[in-house]
Amino acid sequence: MTDCIFCKIANGEFNTPFIIETDDYVVFRDINPKADTHVLVVPKQHYESLTELEDESLLGKLLGGVKKAAKELGLKSYKTVINTGKEAGQEVFHLHIHVLSGNIKGV
Ligand code: AMP
Ligand code: ZN
């Protein structure tokens, strides 16, 4: 999707440092962290939200990305959040998984 900020980030258009990059997803730091550590696991393919995701095997890969990110960042305890829909707090309409650790303020 040409107008989507997370598509652009995942395509490398902003030279965002990736904590992890695979063929399926990237992991990078949230620009407005709500915890001491706050990263986002973002599929390279555009899905507006979890509702639009039909390939459930991708979900397994994204959760694998959560685990890898936690290991890479040395997180022993962390919270994983997916906001789906505006009223639930979704602001960026490209599926992503929040990973938060330490002094979590909530997303
Ligand atoms: P959500 O409310 O679940 O849609 O979460 C969107 C998240 O994306 C928020 O925590 C924002 O701080 C974060 N965010 C928005 N724009 C950027 C960006 N350019 N780089 C990194 N994180 C971003
Ligand atoms: Zn997108």
CATH number at residue 41: 3.30.428.10
pLDDT at 70: 98
* Element at 57 (helix H, strand E): helix 56-73
User: Measured between alpha carbons, how far is 30 from 42 in angstroms, rounded to an integer?
Assistant: 11
Distance (Å) of CA 66 to CA 20, 86, 90, 101, 103: 10, 23, 19, 12, 18
- Is residue 106 assigned to a domain? no
pLDDT exceeds 80 at position 2: no
Pairwise CA distance, residues 41 & 24, whole Å: 10
Q: Is 94 a catalytic residue?
A: no
Model pTM score: 0.97
What atom in ligand 1 is closest to the CA of residue 96?
3
pLDDT digits (tens, 9 = 90+) for 10-36: 999 999 999 999 999 999 999 999 999
Q: Of these residues, 38, 46, 94, 96, which one is catalytic?
A: 96
Give the total number of structural domains in the chain: 1
Domain extent, residue 59, equals: 5-101
Does residue 107 surpass a pLDDT of 90?
no
Give the per-residue pLDDT at 69: 98
Averaged pLDDT, 45-52: 97
Inside any domain, residue 62: yes
Distance (angstroms) between ligand 1 centre and the Cα of 56 equals 23
Look at residue 71 in the predicted model and tell me its pLDDT.
98
Which atom in ligand 1 lies closest to the alpha carbon of residue 92? 4
Specify if 107 maps to a domain: no
